[in-house]
């Protein structure tokens, strides 16, 4: 299958999926989300693929966020649809994939990029990685599961602080928080992920698929939180703060929020 924004490479029982938009720091747009869905769907149905590694192209970014220029003019209805479709097509879909997915976080993982990494079954980061959910600096909230998965991974208090301050944390802090499993040198990241993927591939794919399912079941007490996130995310698109935040970003200036 040919893709415009991603590439898929198979190494024996391991597939490497790479977001390939380096000129945009691998930012997610609607087309890339659709391509990722198709790639994961095909790989999950391939009995020869036992593990998937997801990464970004180039030395700077895993996925630096969503492509803000694509949705800066969206209405509340369009924003709600963007969040709902994205969660269904990729983020929730990825989290529940029966083939394990390792996020090889090789640089910036911000906004939708961190949400994508958190949807993977676990994360290994390079020592230059930076992570954060800066959406509130644009007058919006994380809309691809970030308000739900981040507290699950690092705890409510740390998640509240990280989201409200729109801050970035480095790889070692992310490891200390439990956001990533471990940190390795940038040049060793793919080798480490391949080694881990090979160990997974030696085990029963049926048992692993069931393990993924039942582990995820244990976190479903807040399932309605995702619906609340979709609704609130869409509502942000009808505010003056969102208009100011996205306009300032595209104009490369500091936002001056009216707060309405």
Q: Which residues are catalytic?
A: 115, 135
11 pairs with which residues across the strands?
Answer: 14
> Are 109 and 130 within 8 A, CB to CB?
yes
Q: Provide the Cα torsion 158, 149, 79, 89; round to 10°.
A: 160
Domains and CATH numbers, the chain: 6-188 (3.90.226.10)
Measure the N-to-C terminal CA separation of the chain; round to a whole number of Å.
Answer: 46
Nearest to 144 by CA among 92, 67, 212, 73: 92
**Full pLDDT tens readout for the chain, 260 residues:** 789 999 999 999 999 999 999 999 999 999 999 999 999 999 999 999 999 999 999 989 999 998 898 999 999 999 999 999 999 999 999 999 999 999 999 999 999 999 999 999 999 999 999 999 999 999 999 999 999 999 999 999 999 999 999 999 999 999 999 999 999 999 999 999 999 999 999 999 999 999 999 999 888 876 688 888 999 999 999 999 999 999 999 999 999 998 76
Q: Which residues contact 184 (CB under 8 A, 6 or more apart)?
A: 124, 125, 126, 127, 192
């Amino acid at each position: 299958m040919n893709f415009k924004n991603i590439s898929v490479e198979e190494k024996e029982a391991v597939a490497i999926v790479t977001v390939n938009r380096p000129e945009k720091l691998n930012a997610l747009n609607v087309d890339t989300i659709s391509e990722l869905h198709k790639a994961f769907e095909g790989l999950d149905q391939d009995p020869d693929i036992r593990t998937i590694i997801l990464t970004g192209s180039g030395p700077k970014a895993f996925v630096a966020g969503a492509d803000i220029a694509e949705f800066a003019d969206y209405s509340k209805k369009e924003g709600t649809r963007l969040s709902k479709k994205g969660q269904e097509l990729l983020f929730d879909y990825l989290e529940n994939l029966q083939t394990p997915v390792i996020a090889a976080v090789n640089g910036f993982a911000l906004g939708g990029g961190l949400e994508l990494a958190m949807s993977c079954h676990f994360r290994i980061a390079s020592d230059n990685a930076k992570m954060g959910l800066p959406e509130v600096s644009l007058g919006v909230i994380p809309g691809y599961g970030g308000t739900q998965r981040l507290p699950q991974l690092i705890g409510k208090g740390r998640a509240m602080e990280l989201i409200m301050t729109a801050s970035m944390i480095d790889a070692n802090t992310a490891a200390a928080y439990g956001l990533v499993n471990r940190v390795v040198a940038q040049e060793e990241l793919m080798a480490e992920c391949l080694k881990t993927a090979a160990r997974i591939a030696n085990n029963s794919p049926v048992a692993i698929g069931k393990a993924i399912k039942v582990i995820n079941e244990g976190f479903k007490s807040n399932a309605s939180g995702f619906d609340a996130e979709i609704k609130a995310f869409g509502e942000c698109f009808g505010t003056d703060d969102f208009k100011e935040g996205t306009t300032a970003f595209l104009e490369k200036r500091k936002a001056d929020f009216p707060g309405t």
